[in-house]
Protein backbone atom coordinates (compact mmCIF):
# COMPACT_ATOMS: atom_id res chain seq x y z
CA UNK A 1 0.00 0.00 0.00
CA UNK A 2 2.47 2.60 -1.15
CA UNK A 3 0.64 4.99 -3.40
CA UNK A 4 -1.33 7.04 -0.91
CA UNK A 5 0.34 9.41 1.50
CA UNK A 6 -1.03 10.73 4.77
CA UNK A 7 -1.90 14.25 5.82
CA UNK A 8 -1.93 14.71 9.59
CA UNK A 9 -4.40 17.46 10.39
CA UNK A 10 -5.10 18.78 13.86
CA UNK A 11 -7.18 21.48 15.52
CA UNK A 12 -9.40 21.43 12.46
CA UNK A 13 -12.65 23.35 12.45
CA UNK A 14 -14.39 22.34 9.24
CA UNK A 15 -18.04 23.27 9.09
CA UNK A 16 -20.02 20.55 7.37
CA UNK A 17 -23.47 20.25 5.86
CA UNK A 18 -22.87 16.82 4.36
CA UNK A 19 -26.02 14.71 4.15
CA UNK A 20 -24.08 11.44 4.06
CA UNK A 21 -24.52 9.43 7.24
CA UNK A 22 -21.91 6.80 8.07
CA UNK A 23 -21.92 4.29 10.91
CA UNK A 24 -19.59 5.63 13.60
CA UNK A 25 -17.44 3.44 15.79
CA UNK A 26 -17.72 3.79 19.54
CA UNK A 27 -14.55 5.28 20.95
CA UNK A 28 -13.21 5.73 24.45
CA UNK A 29 -12.31 9.22 25.59
CA UNK A 30 -9.18 9.05 27.73
CA UNK A 31 -8.26 11.93 30.01
CA UNK A 32 -4.45 12.05 29.83
CA UNK A 33 -2.49 12.25 33.03
CA UNK A 34 -0.61 15.27 31.77
CA UNK A 35 -0.71 18.99 32.56
CA UNK A 36 -2.68 21.24 30.23
CA UNK A 37 -0.55 22.58 27.36
CA UNK A 38 0.55 26.19 27.61
CA UNK A 39 0.28 28.33 24.48
CA UNK A 40 3.71 29.87 25.03
CA UNK A 41 5.26 26.39 24.80
CA UNK A 42 3.66 25.37 21.49
CA UNK A 43 6.14 24.48 18.77
CA UNK A 44 4.79 25.39 15.33
CA UNK A 45 8.01 24.67 13.43
CA UNK A 46 6.26 21.78 11.62
CA UNK A 47 2.75 23.22 11.32
CA UNK A 48 0.94 25.54 8.92
CA UNK A 49 -2.54 27.04 9.20
CA UNK A 50 -5.21 27.43 6.51
CA UNK A 51 -7.97 30.05 6.82
CA UNK A 52 -11.48 30.13 5.29
CA UNK A 53 -10.71 33.35 3.38
CA UNK A 54 -8.91 34.37 0.19
CA UNK A 55 -7.69 37.86 0.99
CA UNK A 56 -4.94 37.78 -1.65
CA UNK A 57 -7.47 36.68 -4.33
CA UNK A 58 -5.35 33.84 -5.70
CA UNK A 59 -8.30 31.43 -5.84
CA UNK A 60 -7.20 29.39 -2.81
CA UNK A 61 -7.65 29.67 0.96
CA UNK A 62 -4.96 31.78 2.59
CA UNK A 63 -2.19 29.80 4.30
CA UNK A 64 0.55 30.76 6.73
CA UNK A 65 3.81 28.85 7.02
CA UNK A 66 5.50 27.41 10.12
CA UNK A 67 8.06 30.21 10.07
CA UNK A 68 5.22 32.74 10.39
CA UNK A 69 3.54 30.91 13.30
CA UNK A 70 6.50 29.71 15.36
CA UNK A 71 8.05 31.54 18.31
CA UNK A 72 4.80 33.38 18.96
CA UNK A 73 4.62 34.76 15.42
CA UNK A 74 0.91 33.91 15.17
CA UNK A 75 0.22 36.50 17.88
CA UNK A 76 1.43 39.41 15.74
CA UNK A 77 0.08 38.22 12.38
CA UNK A 78 -2.95 40.46 11.81
CA UNK A 79 -4.39 38.11 9.16
CA UNK A 80 -5.03 35.55 11.92
CA UNK A 81 -7.05 37.94 14.07
CA UNK A 82 -10.30 36.23 15.05
CA UNK A 83 -9.24 32.88 13.56
CA UNK A 84 -6.28 31.77 15.71
CA UNK A 85 -5.50 33.39 19.04
CA UNK A 86 -4.58 32.66 22.65
CA UNK A 87 -7.42 31.69 24.95
CA UNK A 88 -7.93 34.78 27.17
CA UNK A 89 -9.16 32.66 30.11
CA UNK A 90 -7.09 29.51 29.61
CA UNK A 91 -3.70 28.34 28.43
CA UNK A 92 -4.57 26.98 25.00
CA UNK A 93 -5.17 28.45 21.55
CA UNK A 94 -8.62 29.09 20.08
CA UNK A 95 -9.40 28.34 16.43
CA UNK A 96 -12.55 29.81 14.88
CA UNK A 97 -14.32 29.36 11.56
CA UNK A 98 -17.79 29.95 10.18
CA UNK A 99 -19.80 28.58 7.30
CA UNK A 100 -19.92 31.00 4.39
CA UNK A 101 -21.16 29.79 0.96
CA UNK A 102 -18.87 32.40 -0.60
CA UNK A 103 -15.89 31.60 1.62
CA UNK A 104 -12.62 30.08 0.39
CA UNK A 105 -12.30 26.29 0.40
CA UNK A 106 -9.62 23.82 -0.63
CA UNK A 107 -9.74 22.20 -4.07
CA UNK A 108 -11.29 18.91 -2.95
CA UNK A 109 -13.83 20.25 -0.47
CA UNK A 110 -16.79 22.61 -0.28
CA UNK A 111 -16.40 23.21 3.46
CA UNK A 112 -14.60 26.25 4.91
CA UNK A 113 -11.98 25.54 7.54
CA UNK A 114 -9.52 26.97 9.99
CA UNK A 115 -7.06 24.12 9.86
CA UNK A 116 -3.75 23.45 11.53
CA UNK A 117 -1.84 20.87 9.50
CA UNK A 118 1.33 19.04 10.47
CA UNK A 119 4.09 18.90 7.85
CA UNK A 120 6.75 16.23 7.55
CA UNK A 121 8.78 18.76 5.54
CA UNK A 122 8.07 22.39 6.57
CA UNK A 123 9.53 23.69 3.30
CA UNK A 124 7.35 21.49 1.05
CA UNK A 125 3.74 20.71 1.97
CA UNK A 126 3.57 18.16 -0.87
CA UNK A 127 5.78 15.76 1.10
CA UNK A 128 3.69 13.43 3.26
CA UNK A 129 3.88 10.31 5.38
CA UNK A 130 3.55 6.95 3.62
CA UNK A 131 1.12 4.23 4.63
CA UNK A 132 4.10 2.04 5.50
CA UNK A 133 5.56 4.69 7.82
CA UNK A 134 2.22 5.68 9.30
CA UNK A 135 1.86 8.55 11.73
CA UNK A 136 0.46 9.52 15.10
CA UNK A 137 -1.89 12.45 15.63
CA UNK A 138 -2.00 13.53 19.27
CA UNK A 139 -4.13 16.53 20.19
CA UNK A 140 -6.13 17.89 23.10
CA UNK A 141 -9.19 19.86 22.03
CA UNK A 142 -12.41 21.31 23.36
CA UNK A 143 -15.49 22.62 21.53
CA UNK A 144 -16.21 25.98 23.16
CA UNK A 145 -19.12 27.23 21.06
CA UNK A 146 -21.06 25.93 18.05
CA UNK A 147 -23.72 27.93 16.22
CA UNK A 148 -27.16 26.45 15.56
CA UNK A 149 -27.73 24.66 12.27
CA UNK A 150 -30.99 25.70 10.61
CA UNK A 151 -31.10 22.77 8.17
CA UNK A 152 -33.84 20.16 8.08
CA UNK A 153 -33.85 16.36 8.13
CA UNK A 154 -30.38 14.80 8.09
CA UNK A 155 -28.87 18.29 7.74
CA UNK A 156 -30.40 19.45 11.02
CA UNK A 157 -27.27 18.73 13.01
CA UNK A 158 -24.64 21.02 14.45
CA UNK A 159 -21.41 19.43 13.31
CA UNK A 160 -17.80 20.00 12.38
CA UNK A 161 -14.61 17.99 11.93
CA UNK A 162 -12.23 18.39 14.87
CA UNK A 163 -9.34 16.30 13.51
CA UNK A 164 -8.55 13.91 10.70
CA UNK A 165 -5.87 11.82 9.05
CA UNK A 166 -6.46 12.13 5.32
CA UNK A 167 -5.06 10.25 2.36
CA UNK A 168 -3.59 12.10 -0.60
CA UNK A 169 -2.36 10.82 -3.96
CA UNK A 170 1.21 11.73 -4.79
CA UNK A 171 1.78 14.28 -7.61
CA UNK A 172 3.66 11.70 -9.69
CA UNK A 173 0.73 9.25 -9.52
CA UNK A 174 -1.78 11.98 -10.36
CA UNK A 175 0.19 12.71 -13.54
CA UNK A 176 0.93 9.06 -14.37
CA UNK A 177 -2.71 7.97 -14.04
CA UNK A 178 -4.12 11.20 -15.53
CA UNK A 179 -6.29 11.83 -12.47
CA UNK A 180 -8.37 14.97 -12.05
CA UNK A 181 -7.32 15.53 -8.42
CA UNK A 182 -5.07 14.20 -5.66
CA UNK A 183 -7.99 13.49 -3.34
CA UNK A 184 -7.95 10.14 -1.52
CA UNK A 185 -10.16 8.77 1.28
CA UNK A 186 -10.01 10.33 4.75
CA UNK A 187 -8.62 7.39 6.73
CA UNK A 188 -9.80 8.77 10.06
CA UNK A 189 -11.95 11.76 10.92
CA UNK A 190 -13.25 12.93 14.27
CA UNK A 191 -16.60 14.68 13.98
CA UNK A 192 -18.27 16.71 16.74
CA UNK A 193 -22.03 16.47 16.29
CA UNK A 194 -24.70 17.77 18.64
CA UNK A 195 -22.43 17.42 21.66
CA UNK A 196 -21.06 13.95 20.82
CA UNK A 197 -17.74 12.96 19.26
CA UNK A 198 -17.84 10.41 16.42
CA UNK A 199 -14.91 8.53 14.89
CA UNK A 200 -15.15 7.54 11.22
CA UNK A 201 -12.50 5.14 9.97
CA UNK A 202 -11.77 3.91 6.44
CA UNK A 203 -10.15 0.51 5.91
CA UNK A 204 -9.41 -1.57 2.83
CA UNK A 205 -12.17 -4.05 2.03
CA UNK A 206 -9.45 -6.42 0.83
CA UNK A 207 -6.21 -6.01 2.77
CA UNK A 208 -4.24 -7.79 0.05
CA UNK A 209 -4.85 -4.88 -2.34
CA UNK A 210 -1.95 -2.52 -3.00
CA UNK A 211 -0.44 -0.19 -5.57
CA UNK A 212 -2.73 1.43 -8.14
CA UNK A 213 -5.69 -0.67 -6.97
CA UNK A 214 -6.07 1.39 -3.79
CA UNK A 215 -6.05 4.76 -5.58
CA UNK A 216 -9.81 4.69 -5.64
CA UNK A 217 -12.39 6.28 -3.33
CA UNK A 218 -15.05 3.71 -4.23
CA UNK A 219 -16.77 1.99 -1.29
CA UNK A 220 -15.86 -1.37 -2.83
CA UNK A 221 -12.21 -0.52 -2.15
CA UNK A 222 -12.40 1.55 1.03
CA UNK A 223 -15.18 0.63 3.43
User: Which strand (E) or helix (H) includes residue 66?
Assistant: helix 66-69
**Alpha carbons 191 and 162: distance in angstroms, whole number:** 6
Per-residue pLDDT at 156: 57
3-state secondary structure 139-166: CCCCCCCCCCCCCCHHHCCCEEEEEEEE
**Architecture (CATH level 2) of domain 42-127:** Sandwich (2.60)
Per-residue pLDDT at 16: 45
From 60, 56, 48, 42, select the one nearest 125 (Cα to Cα): 48
pTM over 0.95, yes/no:
no
Contact 158, 149 (CB under 8 A): yes
Per-residue pLDDT at 20: 46
Beta-bridge partner residues of 190:
163, 199
Per-residue pLDDT at 77: 95
Per-residue pLDDT at 26: 52
Per-residue confidence in pLDDT tens, the chain, 223 aa = 334 454 545 544 544 444 344 555 555 555 556 665 566 678 999 999 999 888 888 888 999 999 999 999 999 999 999 999 998 887 788 999 877 766 777 776 777 889 898 888 888 887 877 766 777 777 788 888 887 766 555 555 677 888 888 777 888 888 998 988 887 777 888 888 878 888 888 888 888 888 888 877 788 888 7
**Alpha carbons 137 and 114: distance in angstroms, whole number:** 17
**Alpha carbons 111 and 17: distance in angstroms, whole number:** 8
Per-residue pLDDT at 2: 39
In the chain, where the domains are located: 42-127, 151-217
Amino acid sequence: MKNIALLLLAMILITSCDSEEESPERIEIVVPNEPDPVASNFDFSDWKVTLPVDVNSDGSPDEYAPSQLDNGGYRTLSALDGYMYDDPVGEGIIFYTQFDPNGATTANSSYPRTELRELINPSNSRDNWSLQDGGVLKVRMQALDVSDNTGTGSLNKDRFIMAQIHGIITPSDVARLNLSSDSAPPLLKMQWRDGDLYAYKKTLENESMSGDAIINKDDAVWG
